[in-house]
Amino acid sequence: VTGQPDVVGRALATSPNVRKISFTGSTRVGKLLMEQGASTVKRMSMELGGNAPFMVFEDADLDSAVEGAMKSKYRNSGQTCVCANRFLVQDTVHDEFTRKLKEKVSELIVGNGLDSATTQGPLINQAAVEKCERQVKNAVDQGAVVLFGGSSHELGQTFFQPTILSGCTPDMVIFKEETFGPIAPIFKFSTEEEAMHMANDTSMGLAAYVYTRDVSRVWRITEGLEYGMVGVNTGVISSEVAPFGGVKQSGIGREGSKFGIDEYLELKYVCIGDITK
């Protein structure tokens, strides 16, 4: 179905002939569809926005953490709903992690996706570039330091430089907003409790990432994180055999696995009495 999104969306969401809607997109539009679908008490699955924390503890394998960070943050130029959005790094390993990450980011090649040498392509539109510029400016104005990149790329159009910001704080816009671009803001923490508070201090709850070699910490953190999906010592969590989805304002329902099929089924209870008569 093609046409004006608002017209098509409203027709599907309000039609009594449509029993189910599965939507992947922004939280704003997801809320609108849920509001429209309420008129027919329509069943819905919503995979909405994210604000993923990427937590690096002092006992983590830093080389592995950097490798995971590159995959989670910079694939598709940071334009996936499960991309790491906030890097929370323990103060004792902050400088070393940041140095290693900068080395890897400096190796990225921005260019035409049809060129086999390119490892970082453009953003989807000019609005995405402007959002990245606005987030970087807000962070720098409040004391963040640009360690790499920080502005539009010399190629122009919708290309943006892979960027690293250090000295970031929770009062910055980039802590609260999903970026959907190639910016890695690094926030420092001292204790596990502080890291958990920072990770959960958002209305979103799609994906989170944790790097640690302490098994007890793995269970404490994963149980305490308010997210639908958590990657431990990996930057890639998507799989067709795993339930994909979030909590809070990141959506409802799941995609993939047998749980994704359940979203399209109705549970019916049948009670049969004496049928011998």
- How many residues are listed for the chain in this entry? 277
27: part of which helix (H) or strand (E)? Answer: helix 27-37
Round to the nearest angstrom and report the end-to-end CA distance of the chain. 52
168 is catalytic: no
Residue from 35, 47, 103, 132 carrying the catalytic annotation = 47
Query: Would you state the structure tokens that stand for residue 155, as one six-digit string?
Result: 């190629």
SS3 68: helix
Residue with tokens 């604000």: 51
Q: Cα-atom radius of gyration of the chain, to the nearest Å?
A: 21
* Residue 67: half-sphere exposure toward Cβ, Cα within 13 Å: 7
CB 89 within 8 A of CB 56: yes
Rounded distance between C-alpha atoms, residue 167 and residue 95, angstroms: 11
Residue from 35, 58, 67, 81 carrying the catalytic annotation = 81
81 is catalytic: yes
CB 236 within 8 A of CB 71: yes
Rounded distance between C-alpha atoms, residue 72 and residue 54, angstroms: 9
Rounded distance between C-alpha atoms, residue 210 and residue 86, angstroms: 12
Rounded distance between C-alpha atoms, residue 177 and residue 203, angstroms: 10
Backbone dihedral region of 89: left (phi > 0), alpha (psi from -120 to 50 degrees) or beta? beta
Which amino acids are annotated catalytic? 47, 81
